[in-house]
Structure 1
């Protein structure tokens, strides 16, 4: 079972997460179709260790994941707003057009994104 599925099984709801430093995001220019306070998943590596985001998925059920691209355990998961992700890395707005079921990966922070898969990866 993917980590995301474990969160949903526990009754996690994806709405109304207060973005950190939300004043930094200008709603008129918010690139995602989802609201700035939409909850999404990241990992402690991105949030606490400041590793670059190298894996992004927009799951079939609408959830977003912004991960470091490494291996994860359940305790590595963090829930933040889309606005918070843009505060961490504003280039994530370039991936706002990912359709449901699509993901994108990069080899490192300087690499181009490759849109290539559906749901089989991410937080497992």
Structure 2
């Protein structure tokens, strides 16, 4: 088990909260360029560089934030919203996610 020591933790969720990411972000160290705060409260931190995001992984939010503290800028993302940017350091754009159709899938983009 590991823990994180941050001088400031910007998210309402605990730093050890499980979130969704991809092998490209976690293992290949691609930058997080898209974030989704799903209606069910789950967070997704994605590279958004391909339509084939790779294998989904669970990773604690602290590990994602430790790599890129500019994610603080989207810590207030409401439930059911997504944010995206062109590059690390770029301006985040935000939009409400379209309503989910419960018959199609579980609502996770990964």
Same fold (TM over 0.5): yes
Alignment partner for residue 38 of structure 1, among 17, 20, 36? 17
Match of 1:48 in 2: 27
CA distance in 1, matches of 2:8, 2:90: 25
Is contact 1:72-1:123 (8 Å) kept?
no
User: Normalized per residue, which structure has more helix?
Assistant: 1
CA-CA distance at 1:58 after TM superposition: 0.4
Alignment partner for residue 52 of structure 2, among 57, 63, 72? 72
CA-CA distance at 1:122 after TM superposition: 6.2
CA-CA distance at 1:71 after TM superposition: 2.2
Number of residue pairs matched by the alignment: 102
Alignment gaps of 5+ in structure 2: 101-106
TM-score, with normalisation over the residues of structure 1?
Answer: 0.72
1:95 aligns with 2:90: no
Counterpart secondary structure, 2:90: coil
- What's the CA shift string for 1:67-106, capped at 9, x where partnerless? 0002236x61110111111112111121110000011011
Alignment gaps of 5+ in structure 1: 1-17
